[in-house]
Structure 1
Amino acid sequence: MADESEIKEIYENGMKILEDLTNNADELQEQILEEILTRNAGTEYLSRFFPNGQADKQSFKTNVPIVTYEDIKPYIDRIANGEISSILFPDPITQFIRSSGTSGRQPKLIPMTAESFEKRKYHLLLSDIVVKKCFSGLDEGKLLLLHFIKPEMGTPSGLVASPYTTFFSKTNTFKNSLAKSSTSPIDTILCLENKQSMYCQLLSGLLQRDKIIVIGSSFASVLARSIKFLEDYWKEFCSNIRTGYLSDWITDHGCRNAMSSILTGPNPELADLIQQICQDISWEGIIKKLWPKIKYIHGIITGSMSQYVSLLEFYGGGIPLVSRSYNSSECSFGINLNPLSKPFDVSYTFLPHTAYFEFLPVNNDGGGKSREFELHGASATESSGIKNETMAVNELVDLMNVKLGQYYEVVVTTSAGLYRYRVGDVLKVTGFYNKSPQFQFVERQNVVLSIGAEKTTEEDLSKAITNAKLILEPFGIMLTAYSSYSDTSSTPGRYVLFWELKMKGSNDLPKLDARVMEQCCCIVEESFDFTYKSFRKDGAISALELRVVKHGSFDELMDFYTSKGASISQYKPPCCLKSEEAIKILNSGMVGKFFSPKTVC
């Protein structure tokens, strides 16, 4: 682990480090691939692709196949079951990182090593430096950082598996920095009961409201959930602050001990102030009112998280929303060098020292739809026993050769056992910083709605709903969350949308005017591509259905996924539902049903 002197040096020379990294992106990419091949070529997995022992870049490009998680899962399962990690990579494994599984697939186990953690930590420090260049006085206050953990899972090997946020929350790096900067006592974060953890973290933030300069979490979905929690419990918070006693239902021993050092006695003046703020009819700007010194809100607001932007802007009252960096369970990719950019303009500059990056071109029609490839180098793939997808390995583009405006799916090679691994994220090249490309996150690949030959992607759906919700704004109605699924229970099938709505001035369910809601359906359909509209016109797809659900329905959906193993801190709202149980949860909260007009609008 980097010691304090190394961290100090990074902070002092951070901008120079960033300049060096981005100016030397091509050399660093060559270097990192050479290092990976030199160290890992003798592993069981890689050695089969270098039968003559020639593990150079050209052999790598020619022989090593492009894979998905399912292709390498047998190797990871063997390690989890007790075999040595050198079947994939030579370094000792510290634990497995467990992905959320809410992006449309099952959770994955990704090996973590000391080296890969150091790269992630380095990445975080550089991101901190960039943000501090934009906001003054960040060392003069505290942060309300909402973090949550899940129980670690054991494996037969003795190694544990957990979400990255759980792993990171237990490191000395996190604990040491948290003690200095966060309002949340560590024991409230390490509480396994999410409701008690949320309550105590928010109460800690309210008790220290005059010190807080940043509010944030890993994803915008957590922030949205926290605001709803605050709406539901503000009266109880006020009662605790007024009396100086913590609610009896907080039974976690760590939480109660931690809160005893913060909730030290009655504070009726603070309770009255918070009550006066929260009992206002409208909660517009509530974050700024409760935490008057706040400088920015941070959390990932791109991709599926973009549906929460308008909600956070409403509650934030003009406070900047900062999406600091782009990471996944597999590795760190890039940081946002312009933290003050508008949410829908956020781009991430790739840092070339974290992994070897390649890019699979996808159609540049703005929809991110996959191109089809013919298989080349089939003998290498067949000899490996891996079922590679139908694509040409020579279609992959290096980091330095991506084209402005083009769409790509990112493919990574890491020192920790991922070789030409499809992450599943579609990105768009928006520019360059020195020699390093900048990318805008577009969508998760293969997260689509489909009835027949038409394919509607996550980005297609997001754009369509963004267009439709403009109809609601004059009525003071906010769309707070959405999801969808392809209903093929009857013929022809149809797209079904779930929307959770609220009035700007209250939590009351809006009065649903059928004509307005049908117009929303119509605009969604009009926003889809030519193929969808052709099928719809010909009767091959039925009218789009919009189901409005009651307040809190998407909280129940989050609870469902977290009960299945996902962490709140890593929860990504599923754009397209695949689980019948998840669909049933939202259907149980339905309060209105509307259809697009019978003919295409």
Structure 2
Amino acid sequence: MDPPRLGSAHRILSALDTDEQVLRFVEAITSDVASIQSELLQQILADNADVAYFHRHGLFGVPSAEDFHSRLPLISYQDIELDVARIASGDEDGHAKILCARPVREVLKSSGTSGGRQKLFPKLSDYDPEFLVLNRREARFSSCPDRRHSRQGPFNTGKSLHFIYVRNPEVTPGGVKLSSGLSGYFTSPAFRNRKIDPATSYTSPDQVLQCVDYTQANYCHLLCGLVQRHQVVSIGSVFASTFVRSLKSLKCQWKDICQDIAEGAVNSRIVTSVPVRNAVNAILRPDIELADAIRKECCGGNWRGIVRRLWPEARLVQTIITGTMQQYVSIIDMLTDGLPIASSLYASSECSSLGVNLDPVCPASEVLYTLFPCFAYFEFLPLENRLSAPDEDQGREERSFVSCDNLVKLADVKVGDEYELVLTTKAGLYRYRVGDILKVVKFHNDAPQFAFVRRAGVLLSVDMDKTDELELHKAVTQAWNRHQEHSEIRLVDYTSRVDLSSQPGHYVIYWEAFPDPLIPELDVCCFELEESLSVVYRRNRREGSVGPLEIKLVRQGTFDRIMDHVVQNGGASYGQYKTPRCAKDPKVVSILESSVIAKGQARCMQTST
């Protein structure tokens, strides 16, 4: 196959009907990375000629690649925040487009990062068709060479029990739709009007997939999946944390589900949405035998391997297990009795589709993503050249001081090096720092394969929440000051960790106070600290995907012991030592836990928060 010519990526992918075609496509697109990237950059610059952003940087007409590399700076979200806000408000006219020459009628919201602010990114109309086709072709990418020695062969028939949860899109006064990437996709015309293949569809009807009430959607996903249990060949969710939470809810809901299956009708007390209830009832019929079989598996309280027992034909778990989601692999293994986990796609709010894992059921620690050079123009900031994580509270002058001189092209990265991902997209992001830290592990033909290392700046994360060092510092300081404003007690030091020994996981904050090691009303301190964290954290707390925060007071001298341990075992000097704000070293955690003298826990998060 000749190297793919550019155009709409979903048109290229939609033409791939057979495993052999997918194989040839992957071989072609990974064998000519440099020229495909060069052509894509030229196309982006030509398509967006004369946008206001280019004018701001002295570029008029169609910029050349040389102009792009010499004139456009490396940027973070603050640099374009006002531009995207204008786009979201509908403040564009036909004479001076802001970032993108094509009309932008939808803006994607990120999940929310430091400071609790959700970022907005322009979205083009072909993002949803592109993502739709990529999802439909996902199983076929299993045919790539790296996949030949995997534990599971590709499957082309059967249904997927996928735990999908969406939110109602918002519409700005200017008529621009605001949604998360997943909500936008599952409520898009491309998804609603897709060609449904009965052999490879979801177990849940579209009314359930598009239900905005989590409780009702979760119940119906389980009910529909169990009714079609022998047709389910894959089970999953976008994120591993969501998958675990969805399955754990079965422990509280199996009795109602069994009753609904036996009666052949969904409980109207649980599922109050009439369209959702009607859609689910359409696939139900009274089945006492099935209800008894499910009841037998659930009533004993043995949840190890429950997925294999309830869905005996399931061969695969499809969910993201990279980054902080790796922590859920052990509980997924317990629930599924070791079913292979496929972490298949690499996507983001900034660009929708980015790449594919060509060996999707490899172990969690070995997941690698191959960035497809037709999706975006990729550059990479070597880790040693990063002056700071993006989006920290710096002035514009300080942020813009980060040099573009050392940016590396996709075809030129080196095995073993770590980089921050920088994107230029068809929708109008130019040299944008995504904040993902990636490590080059190997190449497939000319295409590098990356391991996801971490999010830049993220300190604590349980679910979709992401708390960085600065945000935690502000929250601790504000909570302490509010509670101890008129006290002589001072905060000597603090650190934190995520505790996943109970589900859902929760934040633990360790405080050392002086001169009195004890302070009153620790529960109130916990509440005040949570109130200072991000809107995404508070939303996850209300919804139950993050547990109540704990504050643990440690005896005086504890942080001195930690310093001794780190210096004596890490090779650093006392003058270089900085207290780790996230305790990951098991010995440090042991020191902290053995020194606890009092603790408090946050109350339930109020809905109005």
Provide the residue aligned with 2:596 in structure 1. none
**Does residue 106 in structure 1 map to residue 117 in structure 2?**
yes
Number of the residue aligned with 2:64: 56
Partners of 1:563 and 1:412 in 2: CA distance:
30
- Does the CA-based 8 Å contact 1:132-1:138 persist in structure 2? no
2:27 is the counterpart of 1:16: no
**Pick aligned residue for 1:245 from 265, 276, 279:** 265
- Gap change, CA 1:112 and 1:565, over 3 Å in 2: farther
| Equivalent position to 2:231, from 211, 214, 221 | 211
| Bigger relative CO (Cα 8 Å, ≥ 6 apart) | 1
In structure 1, which of residues 150, 162, 166 is the aligned counterpart of residue 167 of structure 2? Answer: 150
Q: What TM-score does the superposition give when structure 1 sets the normalisation length? A: 0.74
Query: Is 1:434 aligned with 2:445?
Result: yes
In the other structure, the counterpart of 1:512 is: none
Find the aligned partners of 1:591 and 1:358 in 2 and give their Cα distance. Answer: 41
> Matches of residues 78-97 of structure 1 in structure 2 within 5 Å?
78-84=86-92, 86-97=97-108
1:350 paired with 2:371, answer: yes
User: Contact (CA 8 Å) 1:96, 1:111: kept in 2 or not?
Assistant: yes
Is it true that 1:586 corresponds to 2:548 in the alignment? yes
Assess if the C-alpha contact under 8 Å between 1:18 and 1:126 holds in 2: no
CA-to-aligned-CA distance 1:424-477 (integer Å, 9 cap, x gap): 11111111111011111111111137xxxxxxxx9999xxxxxxxxxxxxxxxx
1:183-198 equivalence runs, <5 A: 183-198=203-218
> CA offset at residue 325 of structure 1?
1.1
1:67 maps onto 2:75 in alignment = yes
Given residue 304 of structure 1, which amino acid in structure 2 is its aligned partner?
T
Matches within 5 A, 1:135-534: 135-136=152-153, 138-175=155-192, 176=194, 180=198, 181-249=201-269, 250-265=271-286, 267-331=287-351, 332-363=353-384, 370-371=386-387, 388-448=399-459, 487-488=476-477, 489=480, 490-502=490-502
**Count of residue pairs the alignment pairs up:** 499
Aligned in 2, Cα 1:234/1:417: closer, same or farther, shift over 3 Å?
same
The residue type paired with residue 426 of structure 2 is S
For residues 252 and 542 of structure 2, the distance between their equivalents in structure 1, rounded to whole angstroms, comes to: 21
CA apart distance, 1:484: 11
* Aligned partners of 1:485 and 1:495 also within 8 Å: no
Q: Secondary structure at the match of 2:338?
A: coil
- Deviations along 1:232-263, whole A, 9 cap, x unmatched? 21122122222333223211111210111122
Q: 1:70 to 1:4 in 2, by over 3 A?
A: closer
Q: What runs of 5+ residues in structure 2 fail to find an aligned partner?
A: 1-7, 390-394, 461-465, 481-489, 524-532, 566-609
Q: Is the 8 A contact 1:102 1:566 kept in 2?
A: no
CA contact (8 A) 2:105 2:175 kept: no
Cα deviations across residues 62-104 of structure 1 (Å, max 9, x unaligned)? 1111111121111111122222272211112241111111576
> Counterparts of 2:359 and 2:67 in 1: how far apart (Å)?
38
Closer, same or farther: CA 11–596 of 1 in aligned 2, 3 Å: farther
Distance 1:29 1:4, change over 3 A: closer
The change in CA–CA distance for 1:308 and 1:50 in structure 2 (over 3 A counts) is: same
Shift in Å, 1:231: 1.5
For structure 1, the residue ranges without an aligned partner over 5 or more in a row are 364-368, 374-381, 450-457, 462-482, 510-520, 526-535, 549-557, 574-581
**Closer/same/farther in 2, CA of residues 187 and 132 from structure 1, 3 Å limit:** farther
Alignment CA distance shift 1:440-1:132 (3 Å)? same
Q: C-alpha deviations, 1:379-427, integer Å up to 9, x for none?
A: xxx9xx8874331110111111111111110000011110010111111
CA-to-partner distance for each residue in 1:262-291, whole Å, 9 max, x for gaps? 2222x2221121111112343111111110
2-side partners of 1:210 and 1:4: how far apart? 34
Contact 2:10 2:131 in 1 (8 A): no
Match of 2:141 in 1: 130
State the one-letter code of the partner of 1:399.
Answer: L
Question: SS of 1:203's equivalent?
Answer: helix
* Normalised TM-score (structure 2): 0.73
* Aligned residues with identical type, % of pairs: 32
| Greater displacement, 405-414 / 591-600 | 591-600
SS at match of 2:378: strand
Structure 2 contact 49–60 (Cα < 8 Å) conserved: no
Work out the CA distance in 2 between the residues paired with 1:248 and 1:498.
38
